[in-house]
Amino acid sequence: MGKKFYITTAIDYTNGPPHIGHAYEKVLADAVARWFRLSGREVFFLTGVDQHGQKVQQSAERAGVTPEQFVKDVTAKFLELWERIDVRPDGWAETVDPRHKFVVRALLQQMYDAGQIYKKKTTGWYSVRQEQYVNDKDRNEQGEFGPEWGQVEEREEENYYFRLSDHAEWLQQFLASRPDAVFPANRHSQLVNSLADSGGMDLCISRPKSRLRWGIELPFDEDYVTFVWFDALTNYISFAGYRDPAPGTSGLPDFNDLWPCDVHIIGKDILIPAHGIYWYIMLHAAGLKDEEMPKLLVHGFWNLEGRKYSKSEAVEAKPLKVLKDLTPHGIADSVGKDGLRYFLLAEMTTGQDADLSEERILTRYNKDLADILGNLLNRTLNMARKYLNGVLVNTTHGSEMHQALRAAVTALPGRAAEHMSAWQIHKVLADVIDTARLANAFIDKTAPFKLAKDPANADAVASIMGHVIETLAHLSIILSPAIPSTATRIQEQLGWSPPAGFTLADLKWGLLPADHTIGQPQPLFPKVLPPAEAPGS
Ligand code: MSP
């Protein structure tokens, strides 16, 4: 068995329910995973939740529950959303898992034994009310710590530090030799440039338990827990079978089948320094070779009507005409799980920011999905039932228009593969919608509804229907990574589904047999309109 395609994402903080940024990243990863499966690769897709830390500890205290209970409840909300919108990972990372703690502690001990971790005393300003250290960027315009911080006092604290600076030169050389390590290229350059001013800094990796209890205890000092990154980043290997003490019986994948990871999908906020600096250096210090370093795919942020996305605004900011709110559930309630998935993947250019608005969501749904794709399927199947009794017939009829449609359809898999090699899934979707638009125009121009009036045109009508139905079968396959349940619904209506083991290489003209019988037409995407524009109002 060859190496699997290993794809993973940032793990989401469990200090609140999932929001649109979480949903985008997981849907993108899910679609990429499905795409590689369709291409014939074996795939392992890992995602999960990041459950430790100060914010969780504080939120749990406010909610009057233990941190264990708090993360359990929030984790259930993530799992419920992924289930609802067809995000189907092969592995699920929860940082409270004993398996994960084992790897984190083993890694820390290894670094400690190798002299990579040392203890140091520092002084800083500490806010008693917020239970955290503050620094100059927390000062207000008057240069003071505002009342929100309460009493701020100077404190001395001892912590453990990881010798990041020992590896700064290695990282520089590594990035210079691997321009493909970080996608898009502008993020790669940004990372390289950031190294110039981050030199000489080591990474604080601990918090005394007196301040933070909710974390993984350091293996070499029980008075401390690990702070954030040694815990969170390690998930990418701990749930991939790294240092599995019971390979083959633990239920974990075999690390050798997965590593090196083909792509970590992360947002732009956690490239520098977390993944681009800390993670590469941690792996290097753990003994991994340059060719074993993961590739990073860095996506942009969803803004909310031009402003930074804020969870509370997404829930409360109104007035909205149709949607309940702009949370993943609020959107899926109106336009369905595939309306949400399609919007997220079609609207964002991978790597850039995009804007979340009700208007854009409804336009994507009503125009692309309902008017173009849904309408194509529905009108075609209705005509095929009316004119051909639902049974395709082999015809010899053809024209330049037939050829043009056929050429567009058969070019799709190659074009899609090229787009996906640069993670441009929105272009794949744009191609599908363009092809559906072309098929609609083909129907309008060839006018089977007119031709059918004369029995002498039976051959011509059958060939038009046959071409469009074959086109729809192809579109269903190309769409299946992005909107899998719609792809299945299209196939059910066509009365065709790909045989087991079907891959992109099998996507050739002539999927449907000459005497194929189609299924029942059913509207795919009922229009979702503001009350004033809805028919009959
Ligand atoms: N737990 C850390 C990551 C640890 S990975 C070892 C974290 N969690 S997070 O919940 O804050 O963010 C999870 C992912 O969602 C990140 O990749 C982040 O960039 C992404 N997004 C958070 N808000 C976002 C938007 N508004 N838009 C798009 N993605 C966003 O960071």
Cα distances (angstroms) measured from residue 156 to each of 120, 122, 125: 10, 6, 9
Cis-peptide into 260, omega within 30 deg: yes
Helix H or strand E encompassing 223: strand 221-226
Work out the burial of residue 256: count CB atoms within 10 Å of its CB; fewer than 13 is exposed, 13-18 middle, 19 or more buried: exposed
Whose CA is closest to 416, among 482, 354, 353? 482
Which numbered atom of ligand 1 lies nearest the CA of 22?
A: 15
Question: At 399, is the secondary structure helix, strand, or coil?
Answer: coil
Indicate whether residue 12 lines ligand 1 (CB < 6 A): yes
The answer for residues whose C-beta is within 8 angstroms of residue 385's C-beta and 6 or more apart is 518, 521
Q: Choose one of 11, 77, 95, 230 to mutate for the ligand 1 pocket test, by most ligand atoms within 8 angstroms of C-beta.
A: 11
- Asked if 69 and 13 count as a contact pair (C-beta separation under 8 A), the reply is no
Sole residue written with tokens 């009922």: 526
Q: How far apart are CA 364 and CA 433, in angstroms?
A: 11
Q: How far apart are CA 528 and CA 370, in angstroms?
A: 9
285-315: buried (b, 16+ CB within 10 Å) or exposed (e) per residue? bbebeeeebbebbbbbbbebeeeebebeebe
The Cβ-side half-sphere exposure at 16, using a 13 Å CA radius, reads 10
Whose CA is closest to 48, among 4, 14, 16? 14
E strands, 51-192, in order: 91-94, 117-127, 132-134, 152-162, 182-183
Q: Choose one of 9, 14, 24, 25 to mutate for the ligand 1 pocket test, by most ligand atoms within 8 angstroms of C-beta.
A: 25
Q: How far apart are CA 427 and CA 136, in angstroms?
A: 44
Nearest CA to ligand 1 atom 5: 10
Q: Which residues of the chain have pLDDT under 70?
A: 1, 198-200, 317-318, 534-537
At 19-70, the pLDDT tens digits run 999 999 999 999 999 999 999 999 999 999 999 998 999 999 999 999 999 9
Sole residue written with tokens 């338990």: 209
What is residue 199's predicted lDDT score, i.e. its pLDDT? 61
The answer for residues whose C-beta is within 8 angstroms of residue 26's C-beta and 6 or more apart is 9, 47, 82, 87
Measure CA of the first residue to CA of the last residue in the chain; give whole Å.
60
Q: Give the fold, CATH level 3, of 357-506.
A: Isoleucyl-tRNA Synthetase; Domain 1 (1.10.730)
Helix H or strand E encompassing 442: helix 425-446
At 123-144, the pLDDT tens digits run 989 887 777 788 888 899 888 9
Indicate whether residue 30 lines ligand 1 (CB < 6 A): no
The answer for residues whose C-beta is within 8 angstroms of residue 52's C-beta and 6 or more apart is 95, 96, 214, 215, 216, 225, 226, 228, 231, 232
Indicate whether residue 11 lines ligand 1 (CB < 6 A): yes
Which numbered atom of ligand 1 lies nearest the CA of 265?
A: 17
At 409-448, the pLDDT tens digits run 999 999 999 999 999 999 999 999 999 999 999 999 999 9
At 311-340, the pLDDT tens digits run 777 777 668 999 999 999 999 999 999 999
- Asked if 263 and 299 count as a contact pair (C-beta separation under 8 A), the reply is no
Torsion of CA 339, 345, 349, 351, to 10 degrees: 140
Cα distances (angstroms) measured from residue 423 to each of 116, 351, 419: 36, 9, 6
Whose CA is closest to 371, among 524, 521, 484? 524
**Residue 164 DSSP code:** G
**Partners of residue 33 on adjacent β-strands:** none
What is residue 196's predicted lDDT score, i.e. its pLDDT? 83
Q: Residue 243: phi, psi to the nearest 5?
A: 50, 40
Structure-token pair, residue 395: 């015809």
Which numbered atom of ligand 1 lies nearest the CA of 309?
A: 26
> pTM for the whole thing?
0.96
The DSSP-derived string for 37-64 is: HHTT--EEEEEEEE--SHHHHHHHHHHT
Indicate whether residue 231 lines ligand 1 (CB < 6 A): no
Nearest CA to ligand 1 atom 13: 12
What is residue 240's predicted lDDT score, i.e. its pLDDT? 97
